[in-house]
Chains A and B, each alone.
Chain A
Amino acid sequence: AQRVTQPEKLLSVFKGAPVELKCNYSYSGSPELFWYVQYSRQRLQLLLRHISRESIKGFTADLNKGETSFHLKKPFAQEEDSAMYYCALRRPGTYKYIFGTGTRLKVLA
């Protein structure tokens, strides 16, 4: 079965500290993986996807097929990064996202 696991419900870090939001997935194949972010009182929006290999707002995520992980990283957290982050999986060529339960990131001043 396809599953996305985000083990941390809440992650608190100080401004300027590195941050890593964990995501592990279960899928027998090569999935498409995404990170979505929801800032306070805003809609869910795409942050980045593994296929584009971009760095958005200083965040990067590398797909590790051996560990079936897609952790989200940023070397220096900013207060405006405080938000809810969801990791999601999609079978290539399909439309259905499978989301994790989310991690709330709090960046403390």
Chain B
Amino acid sequence: GAGVSQSPRYKVAKRGQDVALRCDPISGHVSLFWYQQALGQGPEFLTYFQNEAQLDKSGLPSDRFFAERPEGSVSTLKIQRTQQEDSAVYLCASSPEKNTEAFFGQGTRLTVV
């Protein structure tokens, strides 16, 4: 594809529901990142993958958040038992290597009601 693709673009979840957000990075990109962007804020780092290895999950706000990238390409961010404070735009980005330019997807806007 032409860029990083995220789905769904919008998700409304009832409080307590589990959600799964998908990211298709640019083909061949080794590094993949997830960021969370709350309303009126800049993106905040959640987690980083190098190929299939999750090398940094220091930004995940709680153990309800889980990310995986089992085959080193597509990644899924899962949020269990969603809470209202989880409402945000979730951005995925990929880059050829860890310290090169990151290309962002359009994001998934999650609203927890």
Within 8 A of B (CB), among A64-108: 86, 88, 90, 92-102
Q: Could you say which residues of chain A place their CB within 8 Å of the CB of B41?
A: 101-102
Which of A86, A93, A101 is within 8 Å of B99, CB to CB?
Answer: A93
Tell me how far the C-beta of A83 lies from the nearest C-beta in chain B, rounded to whole angstroms: 14
- B30-54 interface mask toward A, CB cutoff 8 Å, 1 = contact, 0 = none? 0101010000111111001000000
B56 at interface by CB-CB < 8 Å = yes
Interface of B is mostly: loop
Contacts A43-B3, A90-B99 given; indicate if A96 touches B56 (C-beta within 8 A).
yes
Q: How many residues of B contact A (CB 8 A)?
A: 24
Q: Could you say which residues of chain B place their CB within 8 Å of the CB of A101?
A: 40-42
Q: How many residues of A contact B (CB 8 A)?
A: 22
- B96-113 interface mask toward A, CB cutoff 8 Å, 1 = contact, 0 = none? 001101111111000000
